[in-house]
Structure 1
Amino acid sequence: MTYFAPETEQHLTGVGLKPGRMSYFAGRSAPMGAVGSAVVAAAFYNFNPALVGRSIPAAWSLADPSDVVAARFASVDAALRRMLGDEVLTSPEVAEAAGLARRAAEAARPEGRPLAAAHLSVEWPTEPHLVLWHALSILREHRGDGHIALLVDAGLTGIEAIVTHVASGKGFLLAFAQASRGWSEDEWGAAVAGLTERGLLDDQGALTAQGADLRNRIEADTNRVGFGPWAHLGADGAARLGELGGTVVRALLAAGCFPPEVFPARR
């Protein structure tokens, strides 16, 4: 939810960053240190590198990465307090969820997973709701790093990955995906044409059977290579975290944490 909360930009601009895309690129990559735009584009994968280059490395001349990390935690704290309230955040259920999520996150192996490794190196916060959020951020980046490795193996470039994801109907809506990732109409159209030639998209831009099979295989393999933390937590622990976390997620959705123009399932 942090990528859609207004508190994020408020706190990150408060430490010197410019409003807009810089908050996203710098906020998410800050645990890696003052890396260049090529590194951020490679790690994030489906963003136009030119878009990344408008914010990175300029961000690091405006704010130290450690200050950005601290501001990001502060923004999450403010956003969660606004949407959930102190009663929920200080509940035994959130504390239990935080403990379970941290156990899973600390079992994440960093090898070959640069964003997960970077977030694992960040000092843990103390408040349970921030522990829960940080643990989930680590798990998210751990899964994402593995997903990118599989996209590379499948021969999908960054733009082809986001095009096929949109075509699956399970991700971002087209207009948001194209604009937020910084791809022009021509670039998007060229990617669609290439995927159509490969037999992954049909003439209407929808996934073919071959394309759907590829996306399904990538998702299944992403789950497989990212299963380590959950195996460490165990079936009962994972089920309990899902139960506890589901309550929090439903409350966040009810509070409008995701804008309706982003995800088709939440319109």
Structure 2
Amino acid sequence: MTDFSGAGAAARANRALDPLHAMIYFAPEADEEFERVGLRRGRMAYFAGRAAPMGRVGAGVVTATFYNFHPSLVAHNIPRAWEQASVKDILAARLTAADRALRRLLGDAVDSAELAELAELARIATHELPAHGRALFAAHAELPWPDAPHLVLWHAITLLREFRGDGHVAALLDGELSGLEALITHCATGYGFTEAAAKATRGWSDDEWAAGVEALRTRGILDSDGLTAGGVALRDAIERATDRLSAAPWSTLGPDRVARAVELGRGFTTQIAANGAWPKGVFAAR
């Protein structure tokens, strides 16, 4: 029987629900809306859109909270983004993009009773979550709730994603992995980016990547075949810690409501995937 409590619930719920938020990073509506308020498409829009709830923070804050991006890549876009568009306009653009994208991807289901039910479950899961030590979650949690059920859902899943992400950073720190090392070992699991995609999207050079690989080999985490047994154990421990640190929202719901949220989330995730929410293979391993 499937366990819908504790860390297991956190892992299952994340797989079922997170794509309903993450579609924003692939939606053409996001580029259009961010460009409309003055941002450049791509990395500037991504960094500014996700960091805007923290206010006009510097590149160091964004690098620290986003964790695995090259500092120079962040610095090329932040704080420049704040000169291109106001925080208020960036936040409004992101919500408008989510609205447009979800309406396109969900069609008539955007107004369904099932979506409203899932939105309410996700909202309840975010109630009174502890914010200490979770900077990105805390910033997003101070934003006002939207009114439309599909945007309530998107905002709730955004909070759940950032809550989990902040916990994941804590687990990486406990595992003594830098942002680059976290990225290298994630690629080595075979369930994440390819090396080429990671370098291209996170801004690390071939020489920096090679130095990171060598450091991990020295620690016995990598060898010529990939992750060592110790490396696999380390990554498994980090994922278990992430699930454990992300369990609070699902304990709030309880097993029956978590099971229902997972059921509904899987259905809507399947629907938006079929409608081209992201490039083929992005969530294949989830």
TM-score, normalised to structure 2's length? 0.90
Match of 1:48 among 61, 67, 70: 70
1:78 maps to which residue?
A: 100
Matches within 5 A, 1:28-177: 28-85=50-107, 87-177=108-198
SS in structure 1 of the partner of residue 223 of structure 2: coil
Matched, 1:208 2:228: yes
For structure 1, list consecutive stretches of 5 or more residues without a partner in the other structure: none
CA displacement, residues 68-97 of structure 1 (integer Å, 9 cap, x when unaligned): 111101001111111221x10000000000
Of residues 169-178 and 96-105 in structure 1, the stretch that sits farther from structure 2 once superposed is: 169-178
For structure 2, list consecutive stretches of 5 or more residues without a partner in the other structure: 1-22
Matched, 1:232 2:255: no
Find the aligned partners of 1:249 and 1:172 in 2 and give their Cα distance: 20
Amino acid at match of 1:14: R
Contact 1:171 1:264 in 2 (8 A): no
> What is the Cα deviation at residue 64 of structure 1?
1.1
Spell out structure 1 runs of 4+ moving beyond 4 A.
Answer: 261-264
Contact 1:160 1:195 in 2 (8 A): yes
SS in structure 1 of the partner of residue 159 of structure 2: helix
1:221 maps to which residue?
A: 241
SS in structure 2 of the partner of residue 2 of structure 1: helix
1:243 maps to which residue?
A: 263
Of residues 110-119 and 255-264 in structure 1, the stretch that sits farther from structure 2 once superposed is: 255-264
Amino acid at match of 2:187: V
Amino acid at match of 2:52: A
Amino acid at match of 2:233: D
2:47 maps to which residue?
A: 25
Amino acid at match of 1:49: P
Tell me the matched-pair count.
264
Find the aligned partners of 1:239 and 1:264 in 2 and give their Cα distance: 22
Find the aligned partners of 2:180 and 2:282 in 1 and give their Cα distance: 18
Find the aligned partners of 2:240 and 2:79 in 1 and give their Cα distance: 35
SS in structure 2 of the partner of residue 138 of structure 1: helix
2:207 maps to which residue?
A: 186
Greater RCO, 1 or 2 (C-alpha within 8 Å, sep 6+): 2
Match of 1:256 among 252, 258, 276: 276
Amino acid at match of 2:242: T
Amino acid at match of 2:188: A
Find the aligned partners of 1:119 and 1:257 in 2 and give their Cα distance: 23
Find the aligned partners of 1:91 and 1:173 in 2 and give their Cα distance: 37
2:37 maps to which residue?
A: 15
* RMSD over equivalenced CA pairs, Å: 1.2
Find the aligned partners of 1:74 and 1:175 in 2 and give their Cα distance: 32
Find the aligned partners of 1:254 and 1:208 in 2 and give their Cα distance: 37
SS in structure 1 of the partner of residue 96 of structure 2: helix
Contact 1:88 1:94 in 2 (8 A): yes
Amino acid at match of 1:45: Y
> What is the Cα deviation at residue 226 of structure 1?
1.3
Contact 1:176 1:262 in 2 (8 A): no
> What is the Cα deviation at residue 107 of structure 1?
3.2
Contact 1:113 1:142 in 2 (8 A): yes
